[in-house]
Structure formats: structure tokens, C-alpha cells
């Protein structure tokens, strides 16, 4: 993907997954992706696309709202999928070892990242998903990819 910010438009679930898979092809171990968007915007669908792009099985992806963390290790990089929707504060994320996850050689993806922003590493990729219609989305990436 290279230089950011980049805005892309998706006309449905397959398009959202494709955009995410394109980002996944550029990811390296240790990167963190912060997902922003309203309820139903497509954040979990975006994670499915990331896992597909990493060579994993996207059908394994489910929202970790009640468990905080799902781990997918069937792709080129391990994917740590966190959800901050129900956290009461950054202590909840610290309690599951968030900072240690960043050092595990995988990719860390955080849904509802605005709730734990102070814990995010300085160099992370922000993905904002905004519904522009019933199935269409504007997906904007800011941050840094590549080396």
C-alpha cells in the first residue's frame, strides 16, 4: 500500500475483505492495526479479510466482544484480534497482556481502538470504516506500512 493516508470504497462484504487482504500482503511481524467505526460498520469483516490475506481461514474469525481476544495462527503471521467495545478501561487490556502481544511476532488488530488509544504503539495503522450506504463503506488508512 505504501504511503498513507489512503481512502478506498467498498460496495459490499467482498470488497471490504479485498481491501483488507491487500493491506495484509504488506504487513510485517509486530505491526498493530487500530480499527475505528460504528457498530455494524464492518470491523470484524475487515479482520476476516486480513486473515484471508495472511493465508488463514477467514471463517474462523468471530467478534471477540465477550472474550476480548481471539488468536488465529493459520496464516503467514499470527493474528491477535482484540475488541475493546466492552472494556472498562485500559486496565482490562493491560490485564490480558496487550503490550506483550505486540512482541509475539504477529499482527495485533484492535476493534474499538479509540477506547484504548493510550496503549497503542506510536507507529500503528489506523483504519476508519464509515458506512456510506446499506452495503457500501469508505475505508481510510492512516499511519505507516512497509519498512
Residue 1 lies in a domain: no
| Domain annotation covers residue 127 | yes
pLDDT band at 147 (very low <50, low <70, confident <90, very high): very low
For residues 36 and 68, give the distance between their C-alpha atoms in angstroms, rounded to a whole number.
16
Report if residue 147 sits inside a domain.
Answer: no
The answer to whether the beta carbons of residues 82 and 6 sit under 8 Å apart is: no
Higher pLDDT, 68 or 78: 78
Query: What pLDDT score does 94 carry?
Result: 80
Looking at residue 65, what is its pLDDT?
65
CA distance linking residue 28 with residue 61, whole number of Å: 20
Euclidean distance between CA atoms 6 and 54, whole angstroms: 20
Question: Which domain CATH number covers 33?
Answer: 3.40.50.300
Buried/exposed code over 79-115 (b: 16+ C-beta within 10 A; e: otherwise): bbbbbbeebeeeeebeeeebeebbeeebbbbbbbbeb
pLDDT above 90 as % of the chain: 59
For 103, the domain range is: 9-142
What's the domain count of the chain? Answer: 1
Looking at the domain assignment, is residue 126 inside a domain? yes
Q: Which residue has the cell 472474550?
A: 67
Residue showing cell 493491506 = 23
Lowest mean pLDDT segment, chosen from 29-33, 63-67, 90-94 = 63-67
| Average pLDDT score over residue span 1-25 | 87
User: What was the pLDDT predicted at 134?
Assistant: 92
The reported pLDDT for the residue numbered 130 is 97
Query: Is the pLDDT reported for residue 92 higher than 90?
Result: no
In-domain check, residue 58? yes
Q: What is the mean pLDDT of the chain?
A: 88
The whole-number average pLDDT for the span 63-75 is 81
| pTM given for the model | 0.89
pLDDT for 38 beyond 60: yes
Amino acid at each position: 500500500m505504501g504511503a498513507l493516508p489512503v481512502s478506498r470504497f467498498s460496495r459490499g462484504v467482498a470488497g471490504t475483505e479485498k481491501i483488507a487482504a491487500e493491506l495484509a500482503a504488506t504487513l510485517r511481524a509486530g505491526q498493530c492495526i487500530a480499527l475505528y467505526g460504528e457498530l455494524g460498520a464492518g470491523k470484524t469483516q475487515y479482520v476476516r479479510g486480513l486473515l484471508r490475506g495472511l493465508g488463514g481461514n477467514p471463517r474462523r474469525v468471530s467478534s471477540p466482544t465477550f472474550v476480548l481476544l481471539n488468536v488465529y495462527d493459520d496464516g503467514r503471521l499470527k493474528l491477535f484480534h482484540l475488541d475493546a467495545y466492552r472494556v472498562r478501561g485500559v486496565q482490562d487490556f493491560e490485564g490480558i497482556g496487550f503490550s506483550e502481544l505486540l512482541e509475539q511476532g504477529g499482527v495485533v488488530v484492535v476493534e474499538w481502538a479509540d477506547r484504548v488509544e493510550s496503549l497503542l504503539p506510536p507507529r500503528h495503522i489506523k483504519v476508519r470504516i464509515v458506512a456510506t450506504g446499506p452495503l457500501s463503506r469508505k475505508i481510510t488508512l492512516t499511519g505507516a506500512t512497509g519498512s
